[in-house]
Structure formats: C-alpha cells, structure tokens
Amino acid sequence: MFYICSNQNKGAYTMSYQPQFPGMFDPDNGAVPAHAEDSARDARAALPPTEKQMHYATSLSLKTGAPVPKRALTDRAALSEWIDAHKPKPVDGPFSQYPSSKQVAFAERIARLKRRDIPQECFRDKTMMSRWIDGNKPR
C-alpha cells in the first residue's frame, strides 16, 4: 500500500511504502512490551554482584562487623542496598567544606605544570578548589 504525503511548505509530494501487519503486536500472538517495568526489574535482580561490589562489601563487613546477607551475595541490587546502608556517613563539622588531600595534591600538580599559584581561598572550600581544577586542567 502506498501513501502520498504532501509537504505543505514546498508543495512537493513524496511517496512512501508503509506495510500493514494486522495483529502483529497483539498480546494474543505473544507480543510483549519492550520496556515493561516488571521485566526490567527482573532483569536487574537477576544480575550477580560485580567484583568491585564484592570487594567493597567485604571490606565494609570487616570494618563494621556486620555480616553481608546471603541474598546480597547473589543479587547486585540487594548488595547495593546493603552497601548504601553500611557505608560510612560523610563527615559534618568545621572541616567538612575543606578540600580532600587528594584534591589538593591534584591541584598542586596542575599548578606546577601550568606554573600558576592556587588562590588561598581554594584551600578553604572544596567547591572552589573543584572549580579551579576544572578551569585549569591540562587539555
């Protein structure tokens, strides 16, 4: 079957072939949605944990003394939830806004390469240090 499609702006006509397949996407014929929420959840639940997840969970278990549940050892999503529940909380206090030692070391390397000084206020605020690093990274 051919359809004539008109383009109103230019007055041109084009022809395209659009085949008809009645009933092809009928659930009675075995068709299933491509992105069903249940199938995505089942597929994610069926995945085994990654090697990095297992190493991190083992180290957390040793530090906190909390055993890793058996279900979490076979399910990526369950292990991720366990890790989120047991990982250390971010530090609050007067030094929580200071840049990390790794951030400062990286900034100092960049400063040496570019022969520039890091502004002193960057050493008191991790957001400012991050912006300075982003603006001065070698490209």
Give the integer Cα–Cα distance in Å for 137 and 139: 6
Instruction: Give the pLDDT score at 2.
Output: 47
Question: Do residues 82 and 48 share a domain?
Answer: yes
How many CA atoms lie within 13 Å of 69's alpha carbon, on the beta-carbon side?
13
pLDDT of 1-27, one tens digit each? 444 555 555 555 556 666 677 777 777
Q: Please check whether residues 108 and 81 belong to one and the same domain.
A: no
Q: Does a structural domain hold residue 22?
A: no
Does any domain span residue 129? yes
Does residue 26 form part of some domain?
Answer: no
Total number of domains in the chain: 2
List the domain range (segments joined by +) for residue 128.
Answer: 101-136
**How far, in Å, are 56, 74, 84, 104, 132 from residue 107 at the CA level?**
28, 41, 30, 5, 8
Q: Quote the pTM value.
A: 0.44
Contact between residue 119 and residue 112 where contact means Cβ atoms under 8 Å apart? no
